[in-house]
Structure 1
């Protein structure tokens, strides 16, 4: 692949740089995943998993207790994190406050 860099415009050079940066990033990610797969396979072939050999504890996501409940249906809850559920927005539009929905 021969590219005459001197013949390219500034825009073409910038576009080329963006493409190169993406190609490098995906190459490194792919190589990293391949290396991790090889390491995990080697650990499995010896009867271990990678966490046992490295002493790393498996990551667990912490569950957050719900903070708000729908006054019309208590089974519908929300932690207060992330996007508001539709029922919360409907309650707010109806003139209620978040304090009215606290559990």
Structure 2
């Protein structure tokens, strides 16, 4: 004689509970066994089939703030008409300082503004 739908659902709930209990009870031993095998064979995460995260970038030498922000970059360009105005050369190509834009518009070359020309 076969079980009714309600009896099967009740059996499934009991089975689910038994599965959860078995997992909780057996998991620590399984982990210990795996760790022992890893140690015995000197396995790496890659050898075990795990994806290894890309190495983190090394911090630049300019990092000197406790919150990880980088220190200001040294100026690369100086305004030939006003030595107090400098620019690092960083940023979007179309975001040059006004003095650079004006100097270039007047026919000057950006190379003429280099602080340490090569």
Q: TM-score, normalised by structure 2?
A: 0.37
> Which protein has the larger Cα radius of gyration, Structure 1 or Structure 2?
2
Q: TM-score, normalised by structure 1?
A: 0.43
Larger relative contact order, structure 1 or 2 (CA cutoff 8 Å, min sep 6): 1
